[in-house]
Every structure is written in C-alpha cells, then in structure tokens.
Amino acid sequence: MTTLTPSKSPLFMSLQMGDLNLSNRMVMAPLTRNRAGEGNVPTDLNTLYYTQRVSAGLLITEATQISETALGYPATPGIHSDAQVKGWKKITDAVHKEGGLIFMQLWHVGRISHPSMLPDNMLPVAPSAIQPQGDAVTYDGMQPFVTPRALGVQEIPDIIADYVSAANNARLAGFDGIEVHSANGYLLDEFLRDGSNTRDDIYGGSVENRMRLLDEVLNAVKEVWPSKRVGVRLSPENQFNDIQDSQPQSTFNAVVDMLSKHDLAYLHVLEGDMLNGGREVDYVELKRRFGGLYMANMGYTQATAEEALTEGNADMIAFGQLFIANPDLPARFIRGASLNEPDQATFYGGDEKGYTDYPALEAEKKLA
C-alpha cells in the first residue's frame, strides 16, 4: 500500500461540510482524557491541548456530559454550568484564532456510572434495569457497576431537554457544531441495542422503537443548531461497556436510514469492535444508506486512510491515538516524518505529561 504525496493525497483536500469548509479531511477524534478542573470545568491546560492540534480539518471534543446526572467518569468536562461554558469559550476562542473548527460531543453515559458519581447517590439510568458486567471508574477507584434504574416514559422528555440545554450551551461557548454521542455503550447506544434495551413500550422492542429516542433528540437539538452543524457517532459492533446487539447489520441499517432523513453534517462511525478487533458489519453499506458525509474511525493509518478516501469508502477519517501523541499529525503525514509513540499510561488523568508535552516537528528540530 503506497502513501500518496501531499499534492495527490485525498487527506489534504478541502471538504465542504454544509457552510463550513474543512481545510483537510483529517479529524481529531473525541478522546476522553480526564483532565478537567474542579467542577468539571475546562482549564488553560485543556486550551493548550486543543490548540496544539488545530491543524486537523475538524476537532471533536472529548465526550462532554450534558447534565450532572449524565456523569460517568472523574475529571471529565461538562456543558451544563456557567463556569463550564466559560471554560469551553476560552478553548473555542483559541481554536478559532488559529483558524480551526471545533465540534462538541454531547454525552450521557446512561448505566455506565455509579451512585458515588451522581447527585444524592442516585442510581444510573438506562433503557432497562440490566446490570452491565465490569467496573465503574469512580473517585474512589474501580467499583462494580450497579443495576441501573429503567427510565420511565414520562422521564424521557427530561433527558431530551438536557440535550437541548447542552446544545444551547455549546452555542454560547462558541462551538461550530455538535456531535451527538450514540456509541460505545452509553445511553443512546443502550437504547439502540437489543442486548441492553428490553423495554415493551414505544422505546423498546422493534428497531423503530429502539431508535426513537435518538430520533427525538436530533429533532430537538435541530431547533438549536442547523442540521448541517449536527453530527452523530455510532459504533454498530463495538462491545465496549458490555454492549451488544443480536443483529447489528440490520439494526444499524435501519438506524442509518433514519439518520439520513435528518440532513446531518456527517455520520461518524467506529468501524469494528475495540475489544475483540472484529469487523463483521458492512460499513460501505452504511455509508451508501446515509448518503451524506461519512467519517470513518478505527485504527486508521495514513495509508489506509488514503485508501478509504480514494475508494470512496469515507469522506473524512478520524484519528485518535495518533493525534494524542502527534499534535502536528497533518504536518508529519505531509513530510513523511516519524511519529511519536503514544504513552498509554498517561491517557486518562494526570497533568501535562502525556497530554501537552508531546514534541512537535519544529520543537524536535530545535532539540536536535
């Protein structure tokens, strides 16, 4: 597989996404880093982290909780308080000053939380009262997941209202758009999949019912944002957070058919299973059904990204670990430069080590 020269590489072609023009087709994937400040407020360190990576055609923020009851991990930022909005505004201002574009990923973790993380030690909520296998990450260390409380139908409007409030706050914070996180075993994904949704009301049973909440959330946030400023993330066969579906291809064919009617900015898909490395879903079929801009994500290299774009199997490629370790990833790809190795021990939590101290090319030259 031959890496193309920058002048011929589709990675460095601009892309029109609604009324936004992306300077290249390299996207920084949403990456949880557990480095928010007190009150889950973004800090100056977070500002530096995002601006270091501003050469991506589009930045997508780490998953950001829509309310205090949506929290699932320590030191993850929110978008539900005035202080959080102000913290994020510093980041968007800095990104825009450097000519970048940034979307916020909106997040409700659903059952992937723990009472110790939530107000009044409340139970996490989910479509059904099914305890996930595994442990929650809490301020007191790892603790077994609990059995969540199934949301009542009368509570669904409150969840949707939290998404709307977060979408409004994202506008106040100066973002260019939002991505609705519907992947990786969190609340909206829990509703989509039959392994976690065993309801017998209008939000369960058939795939049409299971995707009703996502459809309603999108209709609601599109009252705040134009549809071309809204993206959605899916992970059809990822089993992370003890999530599964008995028929992922047919389930997500239907979900994507529904999403195609929303005229979204893009569809962002994690192509495969993070835990087992499987890839059984036909993602080209999902792209065809969606019809709009398709963002592929799952261990892409420069060569495999260029191949996917050249063959028309994607319109953008999201890079995760490569952007963690290489803040100037586009420049490295252009120059054919070596890549920094990511330090997995510093992925989650900590200070600048493994966060903002990865060297850029110019810095490396000065040290040489």
DSSP 74-95: TT--BSSSHHHHHHHHHHHHHH
* Predicted pLDDT at 100: 98
- The alpha carbon torsion through 301, 303, 304, 307 (nearest 10 deg) reads 150
Q: Is residue 270 part of a domain?
A: yes
Answer whether residue 2 is part of any domain.
no
Q: Name 260's Cβ contacts closer than 8 Å, sequence gap at least 6.
A: 289, 290, 291, 292
Q: Tally Cβ neighbours within 10 Å of residue 208.
A: 12
Pairing mode, strands 141-144 and 135-138: antiparallel
Distance CA 264, CA 306 (A): 24
The answer to whether 203 touches 213, Cβ cutoff 8 Å, is yes
Residue 137 in domain = yes
Q: What pLDDT sits at residue 363?
A: 59
Residues 6+ apart with CB under 8 A from 49: 33, 35, 355, 356
Half-sphere exposure of 343 (CA within 13 A, CB side): 12
Residue 3 belongs to some domain of the structure = no
Catalytic residue, from 163, 186, 355, 358: name it: 186
Domain of 191, CATH number, reads 3.20.20.70
Closest CA to 11 of 338, 330, 361: 330
Q: CB-based contacts of 368: which residues, under 8 Å, 6+ apart? A: none
**Would you state the pLDDT for residue 4?**
45
Distances (CA, A) of 56 to 23, 67, 89: 8, 28, 19
278 C-beta neighbours (distance < 10 Å), count: 12
Give, for all 368 residues of the chain, the pLDDT tens digit.
Answer: 344 455 689 999 999 999 999 999 999 999 999 999 999 999 999 999 999 999 999 999 999 999 999 999 999 999 999 999 999 999 999 999 999 999 999 999 999 999 999 999 999 999 999 999 999 999 999 999 999 999 999 999 999 999 999 999 999 999 999 999 999 999 999 999 999 999 999 999 999 999 999 999 999 999 999 999 999 999 999 999 999 999 999 999 999 999 999 999 999 999 998 888 778 999 999 999 999 999 999 999 999 999 999 999 999 999 999 999 999 999 999 999 999 999 999 999 999 999 999 999 975 555 44
pLDDT on residue 279: 83
1 belongs to a structural domain? no
Tokens of 15: 């892309």
Separation CA 343–CA 133 (nearest Å):
27
Contact between 114 and 142 (Cβ < 8 Å):
no
For 75, the token pair is 């030191």
Helix (H, G, I), strand (E, B) or coil at 107: strand
Q: Residue 3 has what pLDDT?
A: 47
Q: pLDDT at position 8, please?
A: 80
Residues 184 and 108: beta-carbon distance below 8 Å: no
Per-residue tokens: 200:
């017998």
Beta strands 266-270 and 294-297, pairing class: parallel
**235-251 core/surface letters (b: 16 or more CB in 10 A; e: else):** bbbbbbbbbebeebeeb
Q: Which residues contact 33 (CB under 8 A, 6 or more apart)?
A: 49, 62, 347, 348, 349, 355
- What local confidence, expressed as pLDDT, does residue 365 receive? 54
Give the number of C-alpha atoms closer than 13 A to the C-alpha of residue 13, restricted to the C-beta side. Answer: 14
The structural domain count of the chain equals 1
Comparing CA positions, the residue from 268, 250, 248, 267 lying closest to residue 259 is 267
Helix (H) or strand (E) holding 1: none
Looking at residue 7, what is its pLDDT? 60
Where do we find the tokens 């774009």? 309
Q: Return the pLDDT at 135.
A: 97
Question: Is position 163 within any domain?
Answer: yes
97 forms bridges with which residues in the sheet? none
The model carries a pTM of 0.96
Catalytic residue check, 203: no
Domain enclosing residue 262, as ranges:
10-367
**Would residue 115 count as lying in a domain?**
yes
Paired tokens of 156: 């669904």
- Looking at residue 2, its pLDDT comes to 40
Question: Across the strands, what pairs with 316?
Answer: 295
In a domain, 117, yes or no: yes
Torsion angle in degrees (nearest 10) through CA of 61, 118, 240, 137: 90
Residues forming a β-bridge with 159: none
